[in-house]
Amino acid sequence: MSEKELKIGDIAHLTGISEQDVRTLVQTYNSLFTYRTIGPVRLFPQKAVRVVRGLVELSGRGLTSEEIVGEVRSGRRSTAPEEPAEEIGQTDVPLPAEVVLDIRVMQETLARQERRIARLAGELEREQELRREETGQLQQALDRLQERLDGQQEELAVVAEWVAYFDQQMDEVSRPVLERVRRTFGKKNAP
Residue 82: its pLDDT value, please? 42
76 and 118 in a single domain? The answer is no
Across 117-142, average pLDDT: 93
**What is the C-alpha to C-alpha distance for residues 72 and 81, in angstroms, rounded to an integer?**
15
22 and 70 in a single domain? The answer is yes
Helices 65-74 and 47-60 sit at what angle, rounded to 10 degrees? 130
68 and 125 in a single domain? The answer is no
End-of-domain residue from the set 80, 99, 123: 80
Cβ contact 26:64 at 8 Å:
no
Instruction: Note the pTM of the prediction, 2 decimals.
Output: 0.40
- Count up the domains in the chain and report the number: 2
Q: Does residue 30 belong to any structural domain of this protein?
A: yes
Residue 191: its pLDDT value, please? 52
Residue 69: its pLDDT value, please? 84
Q: Does residue 141 belong to any structural domain of this protein?
A: yes
How many H-runs (helices) and E-runs (strands) does the chain carry? 7, 2
Average pLDDT across the chain, whole number: 80
- Domain containing 160 equals 114-189
First-to-last alpha carbon distance for the chain, in angstroms, is 125
Supply the CATH number for residue 52's domain: 1.10.1660.10
Quick: pLDDT tens for 30-42: 888 999 998 899 9
Q: Does residue 97 belong to any structural domain of this protein?
A: no
DSSP code per residue over 33-84 = ---EEETTEEEB-THHHHHHHHHHHHHHTT--HHHHHHHHHHT-SPPPPSS-
Residue 141: its pLDDT value, please? 93
16 and 73 in a single domain? The answer is yes
Residue 87: its pLDDT value, please? 44
pLDDT(88) > 60? no
Q: Find how far residue 171's CA is from the centre of its chain.
A: 77
Q: Does residue 86 belong to any structural domain of this protein?
A: no
Q: Does residue 68 belong to any structural domain of this protein?
A: yes
Residue 89: its pLDDT value, please? 46
pLDDT(9) > 70? yes
Phi, then psi, of 76 in degrees rounded to 5? -70, -30
Residue 95: its pLDDT value, please? 52
